Structure 1
Amino acid sequence: MARRNYGVLVVSDPAEANPSPKLPSTFCHFRADLDGIHHDKAATSLTNSGIPNFAFAFDIDGVLLRESAPLPGATTALSYLQSEKIPFILLTNGGGRTEAARIADVAKKLGLSGLDESLLVQSHTPFRELSQLYDKTVLVVGGERDNCQKVAESYGFKHAVTPGDLIVAYPEIWPFNRPFQEYYKSFARPLPTPLYSPTGNPILEEGKSLKIDAVFVYNDPRDWGLDASVMLDCLLSERGFLGTVSGKNGNEKLTNRGYLQDGQPKVWFSNPDLWWAAGYHLSRLGQGGFQAAFRGLWDTVSNGAELGAQTETIGKPSQGTYEYAERQLLRVRRGMFGSKVSGLRDPLKRVYMVGDNPESDIAGANNYRSPYSSEWRSILVKTGVWREGTKPTHKPYIVQNNVLDAVRWAVEDAKANGATL
């Protein structure tokens, strides 16, 4: 039987002192006849030609980084996986920048080379698959300046507008904008068409008045009041034309009392996280906090009308995000081993999800049902949102001190499930 050398995981910085026992220096790989086992849950720990069929997915904030500082063991853990050609991706509910910019920043902070954008799935990365909206006018909410607008354009969306564009063109749309006027003016772009106005522009016609076909919350909003107001305008509008109010709203004879029955745009949220580990010693509200506030506003404004399918939330822990992440992980694996692996049809037995947030990382891995029959095992680390001594809302497969310990344990677990010295 062929053997594959996995080396020794070496501690190289003071923050990683007193490590757990070292990984074994070698362990065997298994060979398997791939015929008939493309979706076989009994697939072995390593596949043909020494290709591992286990892999990793890591959260970033609270696992690899805290603000701009690397967390203990992060650099060593990822460099080990790189050197041993064990596939991994970074799966984060963060975002607000292009994948290329974010992965370059992560690589710089960790002091690692060889990280490229194919290894990164941000909260909004799956939006790139919504090609049916590329030629539509979409409202892009959240993030700093026009960064998310640029991300949307990099995905293929040709007509992306922001609340900042709106407030500069129509300052009266949010009367409390004075403290932010110069900020918005520094990046706002001209609108493709003017807003409907009963006196100034009374033409309800696509191409004559601004019509929003979809709303995307790419990242945590910085100006909750403006963003929530514009989003409410979209959902109360006639057919998505900003500046209008649907005549169906409040009609007791219609489904949902007429609300959302007039061609209003769908709202896509990219991140349900209520909390995230920032630089402050207490966790801070994330996009999930904005979602809760917006839903509360909608409930009050509409007197309890259902939002229902008018909104959709991706990001961890959603099934759709984990499916996208696994497809990307398989593409990364195929890129690493080329013709030796059959890509999406080659089996991954197990994926280890390393995260700090029980509500997103752990819940997502525990509940995910892989269309490729892989098993996802959740590893909760103590370096982020979760506080030791509290009961996790979703029970992880195992708890580890940090990402380095998580990788050590996972490779041992892979060995125990089929690999031998």
Structure 2
Amino acid sequence: MRALWPLCRGLRFLGTRGSVRREHRAGVCLAADEQQPSFGLLFDIDGVLVRGKTPIPAARKAFQKLVDSQGKFLMPVVFVTNAGNCLRQTKADQLSNILDVPISQDQVMMSHSPLRIFKQYHDKCVLVSGQGPVLDIAKYLGFSNPITVDSVRESYPFLDMVDHSRRPKILPSTAVDLPRIEAVILFGEPVRWETNLQIIIDVLLTGGYPANPHQPDNYPHVPLLACNMDLMWMSEARSPRFGHGIFMVCLENIYKKITGKELKYEVLMGKPSAVTYHYAEYLIRTKALEMQWNKPVQTLYAIGDNIMSDIYGANLYNRYLQEVNCRKGPKAMVQAGSGAQVAAVVADEEESAWDSELSCPSATWCKSVLVCTGIYNPHTEVPADPSVSVTETVFHGHRDFRIDPALVEPGYVVPDVNAAVDLIFQLELFTPTPGNRTA
């Protein structure tokens, strides 16, 4: 069992009942209609804006403060979700309906979005696991030859034997030739876990030929890329539900039980991976450019409900911003202090201008804001005493991320997303223009 750590100590609850701690930075003194804001906002979705399909009441209030009378955002806003079962446009349409403000797909970052920069896998035959339009998602991201677990099962029906009702009545007389599977991508939790676990293990233990005999000594296995490490997430149920992280725990332990070796990931994406925040910061810069801003976005505020995902990730990226000089390029995009072998490495020497821009962040700070409407919920009113602390005794992060108390301590804790927006406006001395919509 892993050591137990006190994770969140001395958290400060901020809102209407407490005074706001102001942070002064050079060049940030914003007047109502005088200067553009120098900050951008990163919003988690589940547990912050919605619970399952039910909108959180504070969400619409908050977003009415972020847009002008024409519905245009007053600062760059990006939605960073660990969900990966739909296309960006679908999620943008859902958010537009929930928040009553127009959201474009360019403002939405799914857990799988950073796969765009892993071009060394785009021409390979990759097995994709998850649910929803996984083939469409893979092709949208640039993969030219994806295949699904279901297609492998259809070619080799004798591989899927757990569900007696789905066992083949007659085994095929001739084998179907599938191309060698050169990599596996885990988009999100599948519907039939036993089928996906079996076939993924088959691929890993046969070097990409799942119908062949297992060769446990064939190590390292074919590359494995995973999105969304969330152990749990918050829907309408009163307790958190299993997330893709639970599926990954199953896969890791099955592989180790069979082989005695550790399952290895080529890359881990989604929060709290630093590459996810690097990509989100790129989207913030892109939105600022579209708004014709002539000053860089200096501070990112990441609003989330999950300490081991949103808070850990934002703090990890803040550490990266402090430690890594952007001139070192994309090969320096390593998770500082995470202990994970995760890097956004662009292998092609002839990088596109798009990749070059992604490699150099302009932000200098990434600050975490924890809300109490999702995974983290104190079940009490916000205390007036700012010394009240929150503790976690079980590490819910992924196996490859080490426990670091500094990374799981939020910069701020507020009741909900509306209070988070109010807090950020006060910290940044930002007053919305008179023409913006009111709550």
TM-score (norm 2): 0.71
Cα distance change on mapping 1:392 and 1:149 into 2, 3 Å: farther
> Quick check: 2:252–2:262 contact (8 Å CA) kept in 1?
no
Structure 1 position 179, deviation (Å): 5.4
Aligned to 1:293: 250
Secondary structure of the residue that 1:226 maps to in structure 2?
helix
Q: State the partner residue of 2:424.
A: 410
Corresponding residue of 2:99: 110
2:82 match: secondary structure: coil
The alpha-carbon deviation at position 110 of structure 1 amounts to 2.6
Look up the equivalent residue of 1:413 and give its one-letter code.
L
CA deviation map 1:246-288 (0-9, x unaligned): 65x3xxxxxxxx4424xx4211110111010012111011011
In the other structure, the counterpart of 2:124 is: 136
Question: Which of 226, 234, 241 is the aligned partner of 1:277?
Answer: 234
Mark the CA change 1:49 to 1:153 in structure 2 (over 3 Å): closer, same or farther: farther
SS at match of 2:120: helix
| Equivalent AA in structure 2 for residue 281 of structure 1 | R
1:391 aligned partner? 390
Q: What's 1:26 paired with?
A: none
Question: What's the CA shift string for 1:296-338, capped at 9, x where partnerless?
Answer: 10110102x1334x4431110111111111011111111122x
Kept after mapping to 1: 8 A contact 2:129/2:185:
yes
SS of the counterpart of 2:286?
Answer: helix
Structure 1 residue 20, shift from structure 2 partner: 4.2
CA positional deviation for 1:44: 2.7
Deviations 1:7-33 (A, max 9, x none): xxxxxxxxxxxx949xxxxxxxx9xxx
Change over 3 Å in CA distance of 1:222–1:392 after alignment to 2: farther
Q: Who is 2:83 aligned against?
A: 94
Are residue 334 (structure 1) and residue 289 (structure 2) matched?
A: yes
Matched, 1:81 2:66: yes
The 8 Å contact of residues 139 and 161 in structure 1, kept in 2 or not, is answered as: yes
Show the counterpart of 2:352. Answer: none
Contact 2:193/2:247 (CA < 8 Å) preserved in 1?
yes
SS in 2 for 1:328: helix
Deviation at 1:169, TM superposition (A): 2.9
Identity level (%):
27
Is 1:210–1:242's contact at 8 Å kept on the other side of the alignment?
A: no
Contact 1:53 1:348 in 2 (8 A): yes
Does residue 361 of structure 2 align to residue 376 of structure 1? Answer: no
SS in 2 for 1:138: strand
Q: Is the 8 A contact 1:46 1:54 kept in 2?
A: no
Report deviation, 1:172.
1.4
Q: Give the direction of change, closer, same or farther, for the CA distance of 1:93–1:259 in structure 2 (3 Å limit).
A: same
8 Å CA contact retained: 1:267, 1:311? yes
Query: What secondary structure does 2:79 align onto?
Result: strand
Give the root-mean-square deviation of aligned CA atoms: 2.8
* 1:241 paired residue number: 209
Name the residue aligned to 2:340.
none
| Corresponding residue number in structure 2 for 1:184 | none
> Which residue of 2 is the match for residue 24 of structure 1?
none
User: Are 2:154 and 1:165 equivalent residues in the alignment?
Assistant: no
Deviations 1:23-80 (A, max 9, x none): xxxxxxx9xxxxxxxxxx8453559972211111010000011111211221121232
Gaps of 5+ in 1: 1-18, 22-29, 31-40, 182-196, 203-207, 250-257, 417-421
The answer for the alignment partner of 1:350 in structure 2 is 299
Aligned positions of 1:55-66 closer than 5 A: 55-66=40-51
Q: 2:262 aligns with which of 286, 302, 306?
A: 306
Q: TM-score, normalised by structure 1?
A: 0.74
Q: 1:166 to 1:178 in 2, by over 3 A?
A: farther
Task: Work out the CA distance in 2 between the residues paired with 1:392 and 1:335.
Answer: 42
Which amino acid in 2 is paired with 1:298?
Y
SS of equivalent to 1:50: coil
Q: Show structure 2 runs of 5+ residues with no match.
A: 1-14, 18-23, 322-360, 380-388, 393-407, 431-439
One-letter code of the match for 2:309? S
The code of the aligned residue for 2:236 comes to G
- Contact in 2 for aligned 1:316/1:364 (Cα 8 Å): yes
Amino acid at match of 1:216: I
Give, in whole Å, the separation in 2 of the partners of 1:173 and 1:245. Answer: 11
CA contact (8 A) 2:288 2:297 kept: no
Question: CA offsets, 1:102-154, max 9 Å, x none?
Answer: 11112112332x2100101111111122222222111110123xx11111111
Distance 1:382 1:332, change over 3 A: same
After superposition, the C-alpha distances for 1:171-201 in whole angstroms (9 at most, x for unaligned) are 21101346579xxxxxxxxxxxxxxx9x845
1:44 matched to which residue of 2? 28
2:164 and 2:140 map into 1 onto residues whose CA distance is 31
Q: Label 1:311 to 1:245 Cα distance change in 2 as closer, same or farther (>3 A).
A: farther
Aligned residues: 338
AA in 1 matched with 2:99: L
State the AA in 2 paired with 1:131.
Answer: K
Q: Which has the larger radius of gyration?
A: 1
Task: Return the letter of the residue paired with 1:326.
Answer: E
| Aligned partner of residue 428 in structure 2, secondary structure | helix
